[in-house]
C-alpha cells in the first residue's frame, strides 16, 4: 500500500458541531466523570456497570446525530485523491464512516464494536452491553466496549507512524493535543519533512509549532481547506 501523501488526525472537536460532546470543553465528557473511573481498565474492573452505562449512553447519543460539513468535506477529498489520503481519528464515533470516509484508522477504538475479554473477538455492536449479552463467538458474557482506555495500547500504531512520518501534508483537526501518542504526531510529521497545519477552535497543546494555524469551527475551516486542495482538480 502506497504511503499516503496527506494524513489527517481528528479529535472530538470535529464531531462537536454534530452534537457529540468533546472531552475537555465546558460540559465535556470528562466533566461528568473522572477519567480514572470510566476510561481505564482499573475503573472497569472496579465498577463495570458505571463504565458500560457510560458507553451505552454515548453509543445511543452518537447514533442519533449526523455527520457535519467537516466530515463530509474529508470524504469528498478522499473521493478525489483516493489512497493519497489517510484519516487517523481519536474519536470512537462512526461519523467519518457515515460521511463516506473509507481510508480510516480508529486508533482509540469504536463504539460500533464490542471486545470480548474472553476470546478477544471484536464483533460489530449496536446495542447496550449493560445486560451482559453473550459473545457471538465464545458465548462468554465478558463483552466490553471496543475502546482503548488509558494505559492500553492504541490500534494501528505501526501503520499510523509509517504514514505520519512519510506524508507531505499533516493536518490536525479538533484536538487539544493532550493525549499521547496522538499528541506527538505533529512532531513526527515535522521530523519527516511534512508541511503541517492545525484547524482548531482554540490553541492546542501541540508538542511542536504547526507551519499554519487556522482558528474557527471545523464545519467552516475543513471544507475551505479541502476546496484549496481540490482547486484545479474539480
Residues with active-site annotation: 108
> Is residue 43 a contact residue for ligand BV8 (CB under 6 A)?
no
Cell reading at 227: 476546496
Distance CA 230, CA 107 (A): 27
* Closest CB 164 distance from ligand BV8, rounded Å: 13
Closer residue to ligand BV8 in complex, CB, 176/229: 176
Total site size for ligand BV8, rule CB under 6 A: 37
Stretch that binds ligand BV8, among 1-9, 71-79, 112-120, 171-179 (CB under 6 A): 171-179
* 3-state helix vs strand vs coil in the chain, percent to 5: 40, 20, 45
Closest-CA residue to 121 (of 103, 134, 104): 134
Q: Which helix (H) or strand (E) holds 9?
A: strand 6-10
> Is residue 178 a contact residue for ligand BV8 (CB under 6 A)?
yes
Distance CA 52, CA 132 (A): 9
Contact pick of 4, 43, 67, 217 for ligand BV8 (by CB under 6 A): 217
Distance CA 222, CA 220 (A): 6
Residues in contact with ligand BV8 by the rule CB under 6 A: 11-13, 16-17, 22-25, 28, 39, 90, 92, 108, 147-154, 157, 174-176, 178-182, 200-202, 204, 217-218
Amino acid at each position: 500500500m502506497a504511503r499516503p501523501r496527506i494524513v489527517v488526525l481528528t479529535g472530538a472537536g470535529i464531531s462537536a458541531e454534530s452534537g457529540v460532546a468533546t472531552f475537555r470543553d465546558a460540559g465535556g465528557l470528562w466533566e461528568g466523570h473522572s477519567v480514572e473511573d470510566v476510561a481505564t481498565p482499573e475503573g472497569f474492573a472496579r465498577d463495570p456497570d458505571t463504565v458500560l452505562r457510560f458507553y451505552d449512553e454515548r453509543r445511543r447519543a452518537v447514533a442519533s446525530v449526523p455527520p457535519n460539513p467537516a466530515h463530509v468535506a474529508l470524504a469528498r477529498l478522499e473521493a478525489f485523491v483516493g489512497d493519497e489520503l489517510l484519516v487517523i481519528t481519536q474519536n470512537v464515533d462512526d461519523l467519518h464512516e457515515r460521511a463516506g470516509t473509507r481510508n480510516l484508522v480508529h486508533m482509540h477504538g469504536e463504539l460500533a464494536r464490542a471486545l470480548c475479554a474472553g476470546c478477544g473477538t471484536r464483533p460489530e455492536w449496536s446495542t447496550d452491553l449493560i445486560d451482559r449479552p453473550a459473545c457471538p463467538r465464545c458465548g462468554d458474557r465478558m463483552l466490553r466496549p471496543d475502546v482503548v482506555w488509558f494505559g492500553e495500547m492504541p490500534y494501528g500504531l505501526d501503520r499510523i507512524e509509517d504514514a505520519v512520518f512519510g506524508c507531505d501534508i499533516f493536518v490536525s483537526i479538533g484536538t487539544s493535543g493532550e493525549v499521547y501518542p496522538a499528541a506527538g504526531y505533529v512532531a513526527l510529521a515535522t521530523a519527516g519533512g511534512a508541511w503541517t497545519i492545525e484547524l482548531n477552535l482554540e490553541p492546542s497543546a501541540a508538542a511542536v509549532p504547526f507551519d499554519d494555524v487556522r482558528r474557527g469551527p471545523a464545519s467552516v475551516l475543513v471544507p475551505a481547506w479541502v476546496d484549496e486542495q481540490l482547486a484545479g482538480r474539480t
